[in-house]
Amino acid sequence: MAEKTAVVNALQAVLPDLTAADIASKLEAPKDHKMGDVAFPTFTLAKVLKKAPQMIAQELVDQIDQSDFEKVVATGPYINFFLDKKQVTADTLKEVLAEGSNYGQNDDGKGQTIALDMSSPNIAKPMSMGHLRSTVIGNALANLSAKNGYQPVKINHLGDWGTQFGKLIYAYKTWGSEEEVKKDPIGTLLKYYVEFHDKAKENPALDDEGRAWFKKLEDGDPEAHKLWAWFREESLKEFTEIYDRLGITFDSYNGEAFYNDKMDRVVKALEDKGLLEESQGAQIVDLSKVNENLTPAMIKRTDGATLYMTRDLAAAMYRKDTYDFAKSLYVVGGEQREHFAQLKAVLSLLDLPWADDVEHIPFGLITFNGKKMSTRKGDVVLLKDVLDDAHELALKQIEEKNPTLANKDQVAEEVGAGAVVFHDLMNDRTNNFDFKIDEVVRFEGDTGPYVQYTNARAQSILRKAGVAVNTADIELDDPATWDIITALNAFPETVRRAFVNREPSVVAKYALGLARAFNKYYANSKILADDQNKNGRLALVAAVSETLTTALAILGVKAPKEM
């Protein structure tokens, strides 16, 4: 930001017909920084003025007031600005420190709401790594929308309805026990579910029993409903423990069951438009007009029961009514691509003007030490165990590095959970990756703890300095800091790009880059030396810590001041 202001001002003085925003949008970074810090291409101007770009570049350079720059030169069709680094450094640090945790904030989305469907685990089952991804990506996107001026609404669309609850009720009533469930709710319910499937393999009649109980549940049978509500409540208790550890909250827990009485309007709207067709007793919507590769959307089953899709259609409409979203994002694994393509297709067939604002945000698969997980086989890695292991590994390293640290346990939790979250977000959203905890919870390399540790180091320098940074009068003339200044300047743009691309990894990679630049500088300079640059260096350290902390906060990672 600060680096570009001088360039924009200088260009605008000689190009009064262009707006500042116009000029700013054309600025580029020269391929080789020996050629300058900021470049302005003259191709578009050349077309308008019907002159050779080289000529225009030279003419403008002759007119530009160069006093704010080291120099300004024409290189072919480009005007290359060599910034007054001392000035840019002072301006940048002042800006970061004045804005504090607000640095990077913009108001692009002012007055607009972003709905985020995120986490959305299925009750009576452990939360999987896939749901962890949805949770942390959704949370980071919510933070990014807020940073870009939008109002986020975080919705946990719990998987709390469906035939599996009929099976579970049957299993519980037939061979389950209340005490057993109370002791370990999700573990026990999962066990019943797995047992049900095993038994049903030998005795297919069990499936009918399960279906019958689900029918009762849908018809409002009090016993079925009471058991279902209890399973839901116990499951939520366990999920909440994980959300608390990750520091993640929701604005709504309206899950699938919430839409039980809201599907009539979906069916009616489809009927009114003549979109509902019968196929082998079921009600479907043919989507081939929208896209010939799409299979029909199933709205009602042969037995009249509604489906995942029907509930998602009702939910989409309910959310538009309730939140009047500008965008409605669904952070759900890539395996549900087809489902969301169908959802969007049905909404567009209904001529809803907001159908295009519905976006599936898919993400890749996590394997665990090379293995996939499957709830059906009871083959799961519990998130709670992952967080516990991460905590322990973090604690071990803290004991080695900083044995006298006061609140070790809390810091270990922040570092352990932070490591897991950061690792998840650092990968491009749609990439698959393997999770190996030893690589995730390390203080070196491309990890969350590395960024956290860098910030703690910066904080420790500021404590040792013993004087407050004078933020009003900053002077720093040191070419070795330039990479850091450039990185600090890139933060607002990074926040924008990460949101526009729905890609939290942009922020994670940014944080790693800034941390690396800072550590390189730290290794080669005496920050606390008593010379005229000392206050400037401390301002730099404070600005780095501020920006790292903000970047981590966007990702949902804590930044302990000591570790």
Shortest Cβ 256–ligand ARG spacing (Å): 7
Q: How far is the CB of 317 from ligand ARG (least distance, A)?
A: 13
Shortest distance in whole angstroms from residue 138 CB to ligand ARG: 10
Nearest to 305 by CA among 162, 164, 446: 162
Name every residue whose Cβ is closer than 8 Å to that of residue 545 and which is 6 or more positions away in sequence: 455, 458, 459, 462
Nearer Cβ to ligand ARG (51/377):
377
DSSP string, 24-78: HHH-B--SSGGG-SEEEE-HHHHHHHTS-HHHHHHHHHHHS-GGGEEEEEEETTE
209 vs 218, beta carbon nearer ligand ARG: 218
- Nearest residue to ligand ARG, by Cβ distance, number only: 159
Nearest distance, CB of residue 118 and ligand ARG, angstroms:
8
Min CB(129)–ligand ARG separation in Å:
12
Taking the complex as a whole, the smallest distance from the CB of residue 316 to ligand ARG amounts, in Å, to 8
Smallest separation, CB 505 to ligand ARG (Å):
21
Question: What gap in Å lies between CA 60 and CA 73, rounded to an integer?
Answer: 10
Binding site for ligand ARG (CB under 6 A): 117, 120, 122, 157, 159, 312, 315, 330, 332
DSSP state of 242: H
For residue 193 the two structure tokens come to 């579910």
Residue 47 or 372: which CB sits closer to ligand ARG?
A: 372
Question: CB 158 → ligand ARG: shortest distance, Å?
Answer: 7
154-175 burial, b at 16+ Cβ within 10 Å, e below that, comes to: bbbbbbbbbbbbbbbbbbbeee
The residue (of 132 and 538) whose beta carbon lies closer to ligand ARG is 132
Identify which of 563, 428, 434, 449 has the alpha carbon closest to the alpha carbon of residue 511: 449
CA end-to-end distance (rounded Å), the chain: 32
Could you tell me the smallest distance in angstroms from the CB atom of residue 315 to ligand ARG? Answer: 6
**Between 323 and 522, whose beta carbon lies closer to ligand ARG?**
323
Question: Closest CB to ligand ARG among 116 and 276?
Answer: 116
Closer by beta carbon to ligand ARG, 122 or else 145: 122
Q: Which is nearer to ligand ARG, 259 or 510 (CB)?
A: 259
Minimum CB separation from ligand ARG for residue 160, in Å?
A: 9
Residues 297, 285 contacting (CB under 8 angstroms): yes
Closest approach, Cβ 131 to ligand ARG, in A, equals 6
Q: Quick one: 7 or 307, whose CB is closer to ligand ARG?
A: 307
% helix, strand, coil for the chain, step of 5: 60, 10, 30
Q: Which residues of 424-463 are buried (b: 16+ CB within 10 A; e: fewer)?
A: bbbbebeeeeebebeebbbbeebbbbbbbbbbbbbbbbbe
At 28, give phi and psi (nearest 5°).
-130, 165
Q: Find out whether 443 and 449 touch, Cβ atoms under 8 Å.
A: yes
Q: Measured from the CB atom, is 343 or 554 closer to ligand ARG?
A: 343
Q: Where are the alpha helices (DSSP H) in 324-378?
A: 337-349
Min dist CB 130 to ligand ARG, Å, is: 7
Rounded to the nearest 10 degrees, the angle between the axes of helix 2-14 and helix 53-63 is 100
Nearer to ligand ARG, 122 or 427 (CB): 122
Task: CB nearer to ligand ARG: give 312 or 414.
Answer: 312
Residue 300 CB, shortest distance to ligand ARG, in Å, is 18
Min CB(308)–ligand ARG separation in Å: 7
Instruction: Give me the residue label for tokens 């099976």.
Output: 167
Angle subtended by helix axes 85-99 and 2-14, to nearest 10: 120
The dihedral built from the CA positions of residue 267, 273, 275 and 280, taken in this order, carries a sign that is positive
- 3-class SS of residue 300: strand
30 vs 224: CA distance, rounded Å:
68
111: left (phi over 0), alpha (psi -120 to 50) or beta: left
**261 or 400: CB nearest ligand ARG:** 261
In the sheet where 276-279 sits, what is the strand order?
A: 276-279, 282-285, 297-300
Q: Report the residue number, 336 or 519, with the smaller CB distance to ligand ARG.
A: 336
Q: How far apart are CA 150 and CA 468, in angstroms?
A: 35
Strand pairing partners for 78? 41, 75
Q: Which of 440, 429, 418, 448 is nearest to 365 (CA)?
A: 429
Q: Is 556 helix (H, G, I), strand (E, B) or coil?
A: coil
Helix axes 163-175, 222-246, angle to 10 degrees: 110
The total number of residues shown for the chain amounts to: 563
